[in-house]
Chains A and B, each alone.
Chain A
Amino acid sequence: MSPLSRIRHPLKRYFRRWIERRTQAVRECRLDHRRLYILPSKAGFGFLGLVFALWILGTNYENNLVFILCFLLLAMFIVSIHVTHGTLSGLRVKMVRAQSVFAGDAAAVELCFSQPRARRREQIAVCFAGQDPLMITLANAGDTFVTVLAPTTRRGFLEPGLLTVESVYPVGLLRVWSYLRFRFNAVVYPAPATDATRAVGRRGSGAGHYLGTTGSEDYAGLKTYEVGESLRHVAWKQYAREQGLWSKQYSDPVDSRVWVDWNDYASMETEQRLARMTWQVCACDADGRVYGLRIPGTELSPDMGAAHRQAVLRCLALYGNDGTNRINDETA
């Protein structure tokens, strides 16, 4: 470790912590002088070096024309502070929606950049820490929607850290940037862990909901008659109305309700349990089963469909999380 980095690293960490502290979570914000940071870029420091070299040249040759050029560049640098700041200043950034994903996957976060009037703002890099930046260019007044990826690691509410919005436009000598922290409603589901021993859930008691494979007990609907099918199943009534030859479909009731149950994984740690339960939920959903969730403090009765799956997974994601700090506010 070089001596310089020995100084720089704690400084960076300190700066980071300071930023973390002062960046409030929001849904929408306007980039202004309170949120924008501006410092010379690497090229900017090079430029200052050039100004210094010109100053040496001018001083040594006692040449006022070189001084004029030197001071012109210096003044240009100073004016560029304002101009570069203007690239981001006045821009509104709004979080539109975020995708819920399994831990480890990148969540797509849709953002809306808007400006009240047409102004060219080019080369704005937007990204969460550790991701490749997305370069956007704004020209017209109004909204521009962009989607950036947020990395996830742990289950819970989506908390991808700070979003960096930065630009060096138009002269590249200064870098203006802002850190944004969004309040997300989206959650990160536990990463599923395969559990082959429990490919099929425990059978529950009581009447089943789901109509399983083809059977003979319950009428399930009509389908086009195919040659070779039992004539007993032909829908004669429809045939008589000259509506074509149909066969009636029946299915046997299967008691296929599955409980994804916390207590089934008694010997495991919380996270492992949750990971396996998540896998089980996914498996049931893929199989088209009806499943419910039992987890301390919550029980979701068996059901199926996307909404149910989402509710169950959300429950798993937020288990043990004090969810009260999240309000399902207006855009929920």
Chain B
Amino acid sequence: MKRPDWQLSRNGLFWVLLAFVAVVAQHLEHLPVWTLALAGAVLLWRILEYRGAVPFPPWPLKAVFVASCVAGLVTSYRSLLGLEPMVAMLIAGFGLKLIEMHHKRDAFVLIYLAYFASAINCVFTQDILDFGLVLLTYVIATTALVSINQSKDQRFSAGPSLIALRILATSLPLMLVIFLVMPRLGTFWSIPTPKYQARTGVGDTMSPGDFSRLVGSDKLAFRARFDGEVPNLDMLYWRGLVFSRFDGREWAQAEFFGPEQAIQERSDNRGIVRLGEPVRYTLTAEPTYQRWLFALSTPATPEPGIRLMRDSRLVSAERISQRRNYEVQSWLDYRLQPDGLHPNRDQLERALPPGSNPETVRVAREWARETQDVEALIQRLLQLYNRSFVYTLEPPLLGTHAVDEFLWDTRRGFCEHFASSFAFFMRAAGYPARVVVGYLGGEIHPTENFVTVRQYDAHAWAEVWLEGRGWLRVDPTAAVAPERVEMSLADLFRDEDGFLIDSPLSLMRFRDIDFVNWIILHRDYLDYAWATWVLGYENQQADFLKQLLGRVDAFRLSLLFLMAAGVSLIPYLAMRLINRRRDRPDPRDELINRFCARMAQYGLRRRTGEGMLDYAQRVAAERPQLGPWAMAVASAYIRQRYDDNAPEQIDELRRLVRQTGPSGVGSM
């Protein structure tokens, strides 16, 4: 069948453009600037084109557009493999297609592109609010779908969005069941993951200033839900990375233990002694695009793909590119390598960069001579911190010999300065020492046994290796600011300028207000449930289905599907029932139809279009015996049906119709 020439309606154009804007807005973060310029140009052109101010772009212009897109993609990404270039390409294609929408097919393609490009956003971010935006885009795209299928005379109206919302809303039950039941197959082929984009978080090196920057952010780092009670805040040292290499200014991981190294098949438990009972918890990590994971020392996990390293860290086989749940048991009482260090380790963790921080080296050696054992040495150093140092978010800048300057001159610093100077000092005194970074504490949710750890909880502390004791955790920050260990950083620094400098409107600033606090706590819980039940549903799927259905078999699953379909259709069926009642013919017409049927038995069928009075007269003429009855019914009917002034007496008509016909009139 040939279709009439198709032209995009104003309404259709509006919604398609809106879908485009929504998709671009979602991807703002991952798009290079030129795509935005392109999007703006395209939008403007399309609108002018619709208004007739400019023609469809001639081919040279199109060629220029395409060439500039290709050039932009190449210069921005160099390689077209990867998620960001793909998104940029989709959006560029979307834009180019937008200016030459000639057929209905083009509009369909654009809308499908909007659906797809918007879904990709879920790979980048899985925040509940961002997902809300994606859903909003879906509503817009569906509205566009409806509006391009409407007749052209539809002016701009909310009509199509109502239809789209109705369709989407009724799809929800079915969607839910498919989501619950559909088996997850696991990745088919290796895929590009979003690149690490200077997100706030603990990095794989540490130099002065790194941590005070983190304090500017209230972004979520991870959550942990404990099976029992949450341990005290001062036990919550979430270990992430161990820095053993020091170049005088910057700490870094030991190369041969770095995350880039191929991870052994089995976890390495050597040298780890666990004492007492473990605490159990499930950790929900935010994407870091790195391999390290956070846990309390010393951890063990049943999760496949996560290994325990010999320095008591957890490392994932793959980069954490989306939220991930993992179960951990941690023995808070432990001994780490009490029997001696591997020679390589020993060498690395005693090493001092030649010529670095000479003053500290001198003092450390002097103190080591003066004190009889290492505990006394540590105590002496911690006392020094406690007496003459200031814990502050805004420490002065440090030069080449950062430790020297900090220890003997500025004496104002943040956890990284304390940890770094402490570890260096201990090395200079002749003991293996290193810096451990991760997070300290977090916010304990009072009722749900879970802890929310944010970026501003980032922390650095030190470890010293002692003969017979193994690695001992020493937190010099605790010596200078014991409050930091006992309460959350948010409470400590609420009024300081550097705190939450990145998030001027953060709710965290207003925790004093009960209502705000309530929102924060519940949002945390909601977020946790979101991570467990939605983002990590595949971990719950088997248990949940078993719980729901008792037994998972084909019959019960089909029943579930049928129920969902039923629920989807309930609004429609209800509508139909209501309307059927409304559509029922007038009772007077029903009565008269019954009368005519009776007359038909006597061979007097009412003709199409024959008025009731004419009919009655014809009946009277052909069958005089029936005449009076027919006339009575006809006049009663006409009075009831058409005379507005007549009192309603349907019963009277009913009585007349039901009256037995005159005897002696047999049917023919």
Contacts and interface: CB of A to CB of B under 8 A. Distances in A.
A57 interface: yes
B179 A68 contact: yes
Given A64-B536, A171-B142, A172-B108, 19 more contacts: A46-B109, A54-B116, A57-B123, A59-B186, A62-B186, A63-B123, A64-B538, A69-B119, A71-B179, A74-B174, A75-B174, A76-B168, A79-B171, A83-B167, A123-B149, A133-B2, A166-B1, A168-B149, A171-B149
B179 A60 contact: no
B119 A70 contact: yes
A125 to B, nearest CB: 7
Interface string B92-114: 00000000000011001100100
Contacts, number: 163
Interface residues of B, number: 66
Interface in B560-583: 565, 568-569, 572, 579, 582-583
28 contacts: A43-B105, A47-B112, A50-B115, A60-B188, A61-B187, A61-B321, A62-B184, A63-B123, A63-B322, A64-B535, A66-B119, A67-B184, A68-B534, A70-B119, A71-B178, A71-B179, A78-B565, A79-B174, A127-B1, A132-B2, A133-B4, A135-B4, A135-B151, A168-B149, A171-B145, A171-B146, A172-B149, A330-B609
A65 B131 contact: yes
Interface of B: 1-4, 104-105, 108-109, 112, 115-116, 118-120, 122-123, 126, 131, 134, 138, 142, 145-146, 148-151, 153-154, 160, 163, 167-168, 170-175, 178-179, 182, 184-189, 191, 321-322, 534-538, 565, 568-569, 572, 579, 582-583, 607-609
Nearest to A69: B119
Interface of A: 42-43, 46-47, 50, 53-54, 56-57, 59-76, 78-80, 82-83, 86, 116-117, 122-123, 125, 127, 132-133, 135, 137, 164, 166, 168-173, 330-331
Nearest to B191: A60
Contacts of B185: 59
A86 B572 contact: yes
Grouping DSSP codes into helix (H, G, I), strand (E, B) and loop, the A interface class, with mixed when no group exceeds half, is helix
Contact of B583 (A65, A74, A116): A116
Q: Name the residue among B1, B4, B118, B608 with the largest chain A CB count within 10 angstroms.
A: B1
Top 5 A-B pairs, shortest CB-CB distance? A75-B171, A75-B174, A65-B122, A71-B178, A75-B175
A62 to B, nearest CB: 6
A59 B178 contact: no
Contacts of A168: 149
Contacts of A172: 104, 108, 145, 148-149
A324 B66 CA distance: 69
A330 B607 CA distance: 8
B194 to A, nearest CB: 10
Given A82-B569, A122-B150, A330-B608, A65 B188 contact: no
Grouping DSSP codes into helix (H, G, I), strand (E, B) and loop, the B interface class, with mixed when no group exceeds half, is helix
A79 B116 contact: no
Nearest to B115: A50
A170 B536 CA distance: 35
Contact of A79 (B105, B167, B322, B537): B167
A270 B179 CA distance: 70
A244 to B, nearest CB: 46
A193 B609 CA distance: 41
Contacts of B173: 75
A75 B568 contact: yes
Nearest to B173: A75
A65 B535 contact: yes
Nearest to B322: A63
A61 B191 contact: yes
A72 to B, nearest CB: 5
Contact of A54 (B119, B126, B171, B538): B119
Contact of B608 (A56, A76, A331): A331
A46 B189 contact: no
Contacts of A125: 1, 3
A86 B109 CA distance: 25
Nearest to B123: A61
B115 A69 contact: yes
Contact of A170 (B4, B122, B163, B582): B163
Contact of B171 (A50, A53, A78, A116): A78
B1 A67 contact: no
Nearest to B537: A64
A268 B134 CA distance: 76
Contact of A60 (B122, B154, B187, B608): B187
Contacts of A127: 1
Given A50-B112, A164-B1, A330-B607, A76 B171 contact: yes
Q: Name the residue among A62, A79, A122, A331 with the largest chain B CB count within 10 angstroms.
A: A79
Contact of A59 (B160, B184, B322): B184
A65 B126 contact: yes
